[in-house]
Structure 1
Amino acid sequence: MAPRANWKGFLRLSLVTCPVALFPATSESDKISFNQINKNTGHRIRYLKVDADTGDEVASEDIIKGYKVDTDQYLEVTKDELENIALESTRTIEIDEFVPKREIDDLYLVRPYYIVPDGKVGHDAYAVIRETIRSLDKVALARVVLTNREHVIALEARDKGLMGMLLRYPYEVRDPAEYFDDIQDVKITKDMLDLAKHIVEQKSGHFEPDEFEDHYEQALQELLEQKKKGQPFATTRKPAPSNVFNLMDALKQSIKGEGKRTLATRPKAKKVAAKPRRKAS
């Protein structure tokens, strides 16, 4: 089944406009997930919306939004009030400026999307915008409204299409000083640094995402396969590493024991049968 667009509207660069659709570039739908069930009946657990004080179930039409201002005190905000402040640009990705990609701090990156032409018209305008972005070797900063909130999105050319990366606002990024200020200033000797660099050289390789293995997901698949067959599943936990008391000795032992070891040469996890198909809930 073809993926369904999260958003449809228009991409605009000044007076150049084209209809586009926005799709999530990543997905976790293939990961194994679990339902909560009643161990006595085998039935799924269903969650109800209840009043926190009375415990009574509340109908959807009786539920409103409230902003907490004090203990047990809320400001009611109605649907009409929220619609009145809704932004008009709900159907347009408006490009505002172009910036060097290297200037965007990784802390501001949220989620990638693929942006493609919507329908048979507008491919020429789409191509003009895409190739303009590509030729400048920059990213285009634009605004898009998703779920009633305006987001900043960075657009860049990717193959035949465009990728958009949602960005955080400054108030969403925590100040690193709150976490790093208490880290002690330690003087590292040249010998220690040289040994550490040697370890890095032994482990150096290239970014090959096809070599990534989700060992926990594989273990879950094997567990489920064994349980389907009614077979016991024995596991052996690896002992936790002991505390290192001598840093120099640890560095030297690391060099002796490592050698060239990458994701590609690492021992492969046991291959298992295809993931059991989950029933639609």
Structure 2
Amino acid sequence: MAPRANWKGFLRLSLVTCPVALYPATSDTEKVSFNQINRKTGHRIKYAKVDADTGEEVAAEDIMKGFKIDTDTYVEVSKDELDDIALESTRTIEIDEFVPKTDIDNRYLIRPYYLVPDGKVGHDAFAVIRETIRGMNKVAIGRVVLTNREHIIALEPLGKGLMGTLLRYPYEVRSEKEYFDDIQDVKVTKDMLDLARHIVEQKSGSFKPGQFEDRYESALIDLINRKRSGLRPAAKAAPKSGGNVINLMDALKRSLAGAKQSPAPARANGKKPKKRVEGQREMLLPISGGGKRAVREEPKKTEKPVRAAARSKKAG
């Protein structure tokens, strides 16, 4: 089932306008999540909103927002007052300017979205805007109102669509100076740099996200599967010792030797690991009674749970 659009409206470049829909480009729903439960009863824990002084539960209609001035003083703000100052969405992403992508500091990036034509009309106008941005080799900067707040959005071509990335305002980005001022100025020798470059060359490659495994997520899945199968959790492996290297030059030489001797990633039965399109949750064991989320047979209690696919190269 296709995800629901977070926003629908229009994309406008001067007099060229087309209806568009905005979809989130990322998702955390595939990650393992937990509920809090009562150890004694096994029931879920629910939270009640209570008065900090009286301890009595407060009804939703009696709760309002307050801005803290000092310990016991708040400026109360009602929902109607917030509604009065809320930016009314124009339902239009207005492109204001075009800038080189290199001008956008990565610290300003918040989250990506996919922008696509909405409906059967407007595909030609969308294509004109997309190809104009592509041809200029720049990023289009516009504004969009989401949940009553106006956001800056950077638009760039991605295949047949557009990727829109929300940007932070300057007041949301901290200056690096307060963190970097105390870093000592150190003179680095040519020999050290040469060794470091050799290490980088040995470890150089192209970025392939599919090679990386969320090792904590995989450990969670293994833990849950083992417990559901009545098996004891696997013993934790002892951490590898990094050795007692004091001399920086010696550390660089050892690192270079280690990089040269590192074997290629192991593959099950010598075969290339299968690319897994679905999320991590497909690796969970089936739920009794038939659950759509499961794709594996439940192992016997005397067997080690089988992974859905061979492990990918670990990020390290």
> Do the structures match in fold with TM over 0.5?
yes
In 1, distance between residues paired with 2:51 and 2:244?
49
Alpha carbons of structure 1 residues 169 and 120: separation in structure 2 relative to 1, 3 Å? same
Partners of 1:39 and 1:247 lie apart in 2 by: 50
Deviations 1:220-242 (A, max 9, x none): 11111111110112222314535
> What percentage of residue pairs aligned between the two structures are identical?
68
Cα distance, 1:261 vs structure 2: 5.3
Contact 1:6 1:21 in 2 (8 A): yes
**Per-residue deviation, 1:247:** 0.7
Q: Structure 2, unaligned stretches of length 5 or more?
A: 274-279, 292-316
TM-score normalised by L of structure 2: 0.82
State the AA in 2 paired with 1:83.
D
Confirm or deny: 8 A CA contact 1:203 1:260 kept in the other structure: no
Question: Which residue type is aligned with residue 66 of structure 1?
Answer: G
TM superposition shift of 1:77:
1.3
- In structure 1, C-alpha distance between the alignment counterparts of 2:124 and 2:131, rounded to whole Å: 11
Q: What is the number of equivalent residue pairs in this alignment?
A: 277
- Please give the TM-score of this superposition, normalised by the length of structure 1: 0.92
SS state at 1:48 partner: coil
2:88–2:148 contact (8 Å) kept in structure 1: no
1:126-181 CA-partner distances (Å, limit 9, x unpaired): 11111111111111000011111111000001100010000010000001000000
Unaligned runs of 5+ residues in structure 1 are: none
SS in 2 for 1:257: helix
- Once the two structures are overlaid, the 10-residue window that deviates more, 80-89 or 224-233, is 80-89
**Does the alignment pair 1:266 with 2:265?**
yes
What does residue 184 of structure 1 align with? Answer: 184
2:283 aligned partner, one-letter code: A
Letter of the 1:255 partner, please give it.
L
Q: Distance in 1 between the 2:71 and 2:244 partners? A: 45
Q: CA RMSD in A?
A: 2.2
The one-character-per-residue Cα deviations of 1:91-148 (angstroms, maximum 9, x if unpaired) are 1111111101111010111100001111112212111111111111111000011111
The corresponding residue for 2:16 is: 16
Q: Kindly provide the amino acid, as one letter, of the partner of residue 265 in structure 2.
A: R
1:256 deviates by 1.3
List per-residue Cα deviations over 1:177-217 (Å, max 9, x = no partner). Answer: 00000011111111111111110010011111111111111
Alpha-carbon distance in structure 2 between the residues aligned to 1:41 and 1:75:
42
Three-state SS of the structure 2 residue aligned to 1:10 is strand
Q: In the aligned structure 1, how far is the partner of 2:64 from the partner of 2:90? A: 23
Tell which deviates more after alignment, 11-20 or 26-35: 11-20
Q: What's the counterpart of residue 237 of structure 1?
A: 238
